[in-house]
Structure 1
Amino acid sequence: MKFQGFPDRAFHFYAGLEEDNTREYWHGHKDVYDTCVRTPMEALAEALEKRFGPVKVWRPQRDTRFSNDKSPYKTHQGITTESAGSVGYYAQLSAEGMRLGAGFHGGTEQVGRYREAVDHERYGPDLERIVRKLERDGWSLVGERLRTRPRGCPADHPRLELMRYRSLGAERLHPPAELGGPRALDLVRDGWSRLAPLVDWLEAHVSEEGRR
């Protein structure tokens, strides 16, 4: 199927799910999810694979085993690339539109490699230039970070704000009005392309594969 954008019913579906996250609502509107969310998202993923490699379309059910929130369904539909380690691109469709982004999240070893690279006299300034350009272009930095500073990191470290991150990404939100036609493919493809320098840096310095 050729990607033709997301109809308004996709966003109305998620607005309703936010109000009534129950199996009754889901099964009563599953035809809307299948035709207006899942099918176009699968077509979008297929169209992106030529440039970005395999793209995974995530299942809509939440894993509630270890969560106090037992809501059965995610209030967004996500896709991610299968990049090196825990580094890659993502997109999430929800009632508010589509959130595009890229970054990394991982365990202690990856956080250690990330901070080692940020601390490096050459690699650290490279990342700083990348994220500052993204911020000037309207992207927001996101991720888990410490309130203070990592152990052993001096208070006057030139890249202290970046050192605080335990996971790091950049993302921006596109409203439903921009997603209704086939040009939404160009929007996603262009957005991910602009994030490529960040992904390349993270793959080179954070992922296990990149450090070999």
Structure 2
Amino acid sequence: MTGDFEGWPRGAFDVLLRLEGEPSAGVRRECRRDREELVRRPMIDLLNVAADADSAYEDFSVWGYGDVLVRAWQRQSAIVRLARNVELGVRFDLDGLEVGLAWWYAPSAQIERYRAAVADAGSGPRLAAILRKLEREGFEISGDLLKRPLRGYPVDHPRAELLRHKSVIATRPLGCEEWIHTSAAADQVLAAFYQLRPLARWLVKNVSQARP
């Protein structure tokens, strides 16, 4: 992978180490400029490379220092919007990179469309197969679940567990190998995005009713 992205410099980890735990306001102020240049800027460059590789990834946001209230200084997060409530995510922290896909914070109309698609004899088994494949590839599947089986469906429905979902999240850590300091980190992220594409397409088609 070529372009302006050259990976995260080793100094990025030094900055995050200074910000680990509960740093004082003074330390956060002292680190702000270095964090912007060494931690946040490479994320912007990486997602620009991703957008150049595939126009589906053009609508992205990279959180600033104060955009996220809970320990924003300890991690750098970014999202790529594929459709309403369907987003790819990338996170960089002391453990390295993590990539994921989330359908979340969905309105009730989307949740109803999701349940109908899960129950359908065609789209339901397709989703189950996609999620099984992602799990074999190392992704963790999670989401908000109803505490009890969904009313209106048999308790022994073959996809009863999926019917309980109010959100679907697939995440996988990519690690912190030497490639993180090189342009190859973009290749790692794009490969993970490619693995997530079948799930993204299923959610966009069956739940968001829009194309990525």
4+ aligned runs moved over 6 Å, structure 1: none
CA offset digits 1:141-168 (Å, max 9, x no partner): 0221123222223210101121121110
User: 5+ unaligned residues in a row in structure 2: which ranges?
Assistant: none
Post-superposition shift, 1:205?
Answer: 0.7
1:47 to 41, 46, 49: 49
Residue 182 (structure 1) aligned with residue 183 (structure 2): yes
Distance 1:98 1:150, change over 3 A: same
Please state whether the residue corresponding to 1:100 is helix, strand or coil: strand
CA offset digits 1:41-83 (Å, max 9, x no partner): 111111011212222212232555xxxxxx5635321111122
- C-alpha separation in 1, matches of 2:108 and 2:74: 29
Alpha-carbon distance in structure 1 between the residues aligned to 2:7 and 2:133: 29
Deviations along 1:102-128, whole A, 9 cap, x unmatched?
121112221111111101110000101
RMSD: 1.9
For residue 65 of structure 2, what is the aligned residue in structure 1? 60
Residue number in structure 1 paired with 2:129: 129
Q: Which position in structure 2 is the counterpart of 1:80?
A: 79
Q: How far apart, CA to CA, are the structure 1 residues paired with 2:71 and 2:79?
A: 21
Report the Cα distance in structure 1 between the residues aligned to 2:115 and 2:180, rounded to whole angstroms. Answer: 37
Distance 1:60 1:169 in 2: 25
Per-residue deviation, 1:21: 4.4
Change (3 A) 1:107 1:29: same
Farther off after superposition, 120-129 or 138-147: 138-147
Contact 1:23 1:72 (8 Å CA) reproduced: no
Segments of structure 1 that go 5 or more residues without pairing to the other structure are 65-70
Which secondary structure state, in structure 1, belongs to the residue aligned with residue 82 of structure 2?
Answer: coil
Quickly say closer, same or farther: Cα 1:22–1:123, change in 2 above 3 A. Answer: farther
Using the TM superposition, give the Cα deviation of residue 193 of structure 1 relative to its aligned residue in structure 2, in angstroms: 0.8
Distance in 2, matches of 1:159 and 1:74, equals 40
- Which range moves more in the overlay, 190-199 or 49-58? 49-58
Name 1:118's counterpart in structure 2: 118
Distance 2:150 2:203 in 1: 19
The aligned residue for residue 154 of structure 1 is: 154
Q: Name the TM-score, length of structure 1 as normaliser.
A: 0.88
Matches of 1:24 and 1:91, distance apart in 2? 28
